[in-house]
């Protein structure tokens, strides 16, 4: 009986262990946040009206992260993914970092992704892709930003 009680106690202790990871919180982009994120550069995917559009395209994103807080922040990861449907589909991209940013300073981050055209372009197709960038700090906070990625049209 004592063994059963001891096993139950150990199991309960293991299940309720305190994690050393900070609690995670998610914030929508906006004024007053600890950081500000801008998309300062990107390569542009091409949408084709003819064959060849199904080939993968490498897309590079350049982000500028500004520390608007009074404490040093450290960027842990940036995840970029597509919002909504479009003829060009962006695969989710994730890049890990360990970059500290002092208060009032900025740092640039590069994230690479792959895009594929799902169907030939049609007249009237939207020439941009909605993007979401989630910037996660080492304190567990994630800041969510939305951007539009322009798409070029090519006849072939």
What total of structural domains would you count in the chain? 1
CA distances to 37, 47, 88, 125 from 64, in Å = 6, 27, 25, 30
- On whether residue 68 sits in a domain, the answer given is yes
Judge whether 95 and 81 are in contact, CB under 8 Å: no
- On whether residue 86 sits in a domain, the answer given is yes
- On whether residue 3 sits in a domain, the answer given is no
- On whether residue 2 sits in a domain, the answer given is no
What is the rounded distance in angstroms from the CA atom of residue 127 to the CA atom of residue 121? Answer: 10
pTM of the full predicted structure?
0.80
CATH code for the domain of 36: 2.60.40.10
- On whether residue 5 sits in a domain, the answer given is no
- On whether residue 58 sits in a domain, the answer given is yes
- On whether residue 9 sits in a domain, the answer given is no
Q: For each successive 10 residues of the chain (156 residues), what is the average pLDDT?
A: 48 51 78 89 85 80 97 98 89 97 98 91 85 96 94 77
Domain span holding position 36: 23-154
* End-to-end CA, the chain: 77
- On whether residue 65 sits in a domain, the answer given is yes
């Amino acid at each position: 009986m004592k063994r059963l009680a001891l096993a139950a106690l150990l199991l309960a202790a293991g299940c309720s262990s305190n994690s050393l990871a900070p609690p995670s919180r998610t914030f929508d982009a906006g004024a007053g946040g600890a950081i500000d994120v801008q998309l300062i550069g990107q390569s542009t995917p091409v949408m084709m009206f003819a064959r060849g559009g199904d080939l993968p395209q490498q897309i590079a994103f350049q982000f500028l992260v500004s520390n608007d807080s009074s404490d040093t922040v450290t960027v842990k990861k940036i995840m970029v993914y597509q919002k909504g449907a479009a003829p060009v589909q962006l695969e989710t991209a994730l890049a890990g970092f360990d970059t500290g940013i002092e208060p009032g300073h900025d740092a640039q981050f590069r994230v690479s992704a792959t895009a594929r055209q799902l169907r030939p372009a049609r007249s009237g197709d939207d020439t941009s892709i909605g993007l979401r960038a989630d910037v996660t700090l080492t304190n567990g906070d994630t800041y969510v930003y939305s951007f539009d990625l322009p798409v070029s049209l090519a006849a072939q």
